[in-house]
Amino acid sequence: MTIHDVSDVLNNIRVVMVNTTHPGNIGSAARAMKTMGLSQLVLVKPKIFPSEEADWLASGAVDILQQARVVASLEEAIADCGLILGASARQRRIPWPVIDGRQCGELAVREASHHPVALVFGREAMGLRNEELTQCHYHVAIPGNPEYSVLNVAMAIQLLCYEVRTHWLLQSAVAEDTAQSMPIVARAWDEPLATHQDMQNFQAHFVRVLERLEVIDSKNPRQILVRVKRLLARVRPDKTELNFLRGVLTAVEDKGKLSGAK
Amino acid sequence: MTIHDVSDVLNNIRVVMVNTTHPGNIGSAARAMKTMGLSQLVLVKPKIFPSEEADWLASGAVDILQQARVVASLEEAIADCGLILGASARQRRIPWPVIDGRQCGELAVREASHHPVALVFGREAMGLRNEELTQCHYHVAIPGNPEYSVLNVAMAIQLLCYEVRTHWLLQSAVAEDTAQSMPIVARAWDEPLATHQDMQNFQAHFVRVLERLEVIDSKNPRQILVRVKRLLARVRPDKTELNFLRGVLTAVEDKGKLSGAK
């Protein structure tokens, strides 16, 4: 199977929670998934499910809990998957191929157009057992504080779903060949930026006012002028902002009777 | 101030939670911070703190709750900061410079060796208010599902702390590689940046002058004031530049005989 519609990729990445003890974590996980556009949740022998606490913490993501599949074993949860990634905080006795969160997101998105992908998360107290970890293609280690690296399971799900979404957006942008950059930074400003010529005119006006205010010495303005130019270069005002600033300068001249006079 | 020990960088990045309603979120946030090596938590008027629920959810990060600073206003929380980043899910009426999670991590780490950096998070139900957002240099938008983008606040804190740690690890690796100055912080400025408090003072002075110049109507300044704040947020002047600009305002008042008079 190859998915051609990029929007189906996220539906082909499932979150598998193994033997979850606290129902609140299941609810929080559902919310975390939905915020990142994932929807397929599989619960392996949860201690309590369904539950009011899970529903409450899921907030606007109760639909994901309602569609969640409850199964009796990890095997059942991942049987149809082509890529299985297991979250693992600890280094295990037998080293396994380990990837980080970024690589997890990239790999999951890349392969989810070809086959179902599983992100597997273990118990609150002890994570995944060795025999479960050996069923994974890669272990995912989120680089945490060596002195305290125990992420809450729903937090870990949030992080990896975030990495999945980030890479999915990147891939979508490439596929659609529209945006050069991430959609989120492409947010439009509400006004066109001032042109270089606008800025030159403003700068001349500003310097004229500064001289008349005797803030700078017109005979020896060099150092402060460089700083003013640097400041203005950083502002990059839009046209409305620049008009406003021009208005301020004109008001200073008028009120202070500075025009022409020294 | 310039921090030379790379391990101090994380201690110079604080998490600010504004008006948090549920104590459990404060506890979860503390745990999220500690897993990523952050320790400075500031609570602006939390509804309930301290609390058993927060301690329970903090798990092994109760020390962060014990050291947390409780303050009465956002201003107090960020007064000494040189970079303020506000988490914002919604697009606001007046666009602000917006960065994503990756950029947030990179920027925070780069600047935290020079001055304190604040990551600001709003209320569970409604996030940050507009007047709080206008105090931020950048808004941070985590690219979420357009149909349901409301991350739990502790989850958002986990994500941004994760991005901070990831970039910090990158920087540490670079620092070890070169054994010299860290290229990533090479954007050295010749003067310390103005603090938030400096900027607040300047802004108040600027607005006072604008009113006396009758450029803005003191009875109805709202829209233009937001634009002025946005402009100032983008400038990010250093202390010398800000002193110069203060001097300009004072000169306008003196020359124009504006002080006191209307």
For residue B52 the two structure tokens come to 């058993």
* A130 and A241 part of one domain: no
Average pLDDT in the B221-248 region? 82
* Contact between A144 and B35 using a beta-carbon 8 Å cutoff: yes
Average pLDDT in the B98-115 region? 94
Q: Which residue has the higher pLDDT, B72 or B230?
A: B72
Q: Work out the pLDDT band at B255, boundaries 50, 70, 90.
A: confident
Domain count, chain B: 2
Q: Which residue has the higher pLDDT, B213 or A154?
A: A154
pLDDT at A262 over 90: no
CATH value at residue B156? 3.40.1280.10
Q: Is residue A166 part of a domain?
A: yes
Residue B78 sits at φ, ψ, to 5 deg, of -120, 5
Q: CA-to-CA distance for B175 and A103, rounded, in angstroms?
A: 23
* A39 and A161 part of one domain: yes
Average pLDDT in the A67-79 region? 95
High-pLDDT (> 70) share of chain B, %: 85
- pLDDT of A19 reads 98
Q: Is residue A191 part of a domain?
A: no
Q: Is residue B99 part of a domain?
A: yes
* Contact between B145 and A37 using a beta-carbon 8 Å cutoff: yes
Residue B37: which domain range? 6-178
* B110 and B221 part of one domain: no
Interface test with A, best of B98, B109, B152 (most A CBs within 10 A): B152
* Mean of the per-residue pLDDT values of chain A: 85
> Helices B222-235 and A222-235: crossing angle, nearest 10°?
120
- Residue B183: CB partners within 8 Å, gap ≥ 6? B174
* Contact between A59 and B94 using a beta-carbon 8 Å cutoff: no
Q: Is residue B185 part of a domain?
A: no
* A107 and A232 part of one domain: no
**Where a domain ends, among A184, A208, A225?**
A184
- Residue B38: CB partners within 8 Å, gap ≥ 6? B10, B13, B14, B15, B161, B164, B165
Q: Work out the pLDDT band at B148, boundaries 50, 70, 90.
A: very high
**How many residues can be counted in chain B?**
262
* A58 and A94 part of one domain: yes
Q: Are B87 and B127 in contact (CB under 8 A)?
A: yes
For residue B82 the two structure tokens come to 């040189």
Q: CA-to-CA distance for B13 and B33, rounded, in angstroms?
A: 11
Q: Is residue A115 part of a domain?
A: yes
**Sheet of strand B138-140, all strands in order from the earlier edge strand to the far edge:** B69-71, B40-44, B13-18, B117-121, B83-87, B138-140, B98-99
Lowest mean pLDDT among A25-29, A163-167, B138-142, B180-184: B180-184
Q: CA-to-CA distance for A174 and A161, rounded, in angstroms?
A: 20
**Where a domain ends, among A143, A158, A184?**
A184
Taking the CB of residue A145, how many other CB atoms lie within 10 A of it?
Answer: 19
Q: Is residue A135 part of a domain?
A: yes
* Contact between A148 and B247 using a beta-carbon 8 Å cutoff: no
* Mean of the per-residue pLDDT values of chain B: 86
Q: Residue B193 in 3-state DSSP?
A: strand
Lowest mean pLDDT among A33-42, A250-259, B52-61, B214-223: B214-223
- pLDDT of B182 reads 32
Average pLDDT in the A116-135 region? 92
High-pLDDT (> 90) share of chain A, %: 50
Q: CA-to-CA distance for B81 and B97, rounded, in angstroms?
A: 18
Q: Is residue B110 part of a domain?
A: yes
* B130 and B208 part of one domain: no
Q: Which of B28, B147, B257 sits opposite A152 (nearest CB)?
A: B28
**Where a domain ends, among B122, B145, B178?**
B178
* B148 and B174 part of one domain: yes
* A210 and A146 part of one domain: no
Return the closest-CA partner of residue A146 out of B37, B13, B14, B173. B37
* B131 and B22 part of one domain: yes
Q: Work out the pLDDT band at B157, boundaries 50, 70, 90.
A: very high
pLDDT at A261 over 60: no
Q: CA-to-CA distance for B201 and B59, rounded, in angstroms?
A: 41
* B65 and B174 part of one domain: yes
Return the closest-CA partner of residue B122 out of B77, B65, B166. B77
A114-118, A228-232, B223-227: range with highest mean pLDDT: A114-118
High-pLDDT (> 70) share of chain A, %: 84
For residue A5 the two structure tokens come to 């519609």
Q: Which of B34, B151, B237 sits opposite A145 (nearest CB)?
A: B34
- B155 to chain A nearest CA, in Å? 6
Q: Residue B207 in 3-state DSSP?
A: helix
Q: Where are the alpha helices (DSSP H) in chain A?
A: 23-35, 52-58, 62-67, 74-78, 101-111, 130-133, 153-176, 196-212, 222-235, 239-255
Percentages of chain A per state (helix, strand, coil), in multiples of 5: 50, 15, 35
* Contact between B255 and A258 using a beta-carbon 8 Å cutoff: yes
Whose tokens are 């905080």? That residue is A89
For residue A67 the two structure tokens come to 């569609």
Report the DSSP pairing between strands A138-140 and A83-87. parallel
- B4 to chain A nearest CA, in Å? 20
* Contact between A185 and B154 using a beta-carbon 8 Å cutoff: no
Q: Is residue A261 part of a domain?
A: no
- pLDDT of A207 reads 87
HEC string for A160-188: HHHHHHHHHHHHHHHHHCCCCCCHHHHCC
Average pLDDT in the B231-241 region? 82
* B209 and B107 part of one domain: no
For residue B64 the two structure tokens come to 């962060």
* B82 and B211 part of one domain: no
**Interface A-B: count of C-beta contacts within 8 A:** 160
pLDDT at B199 over 90: no
pLDDT at A177 over 90: no
pLDDT at A190 over 90: no
Average pLDDT in the A64-76 region? 96
pLDDT digits 0-9 by tens, A88-119: 876 665 667 889 999 999 999 999 988 899 99
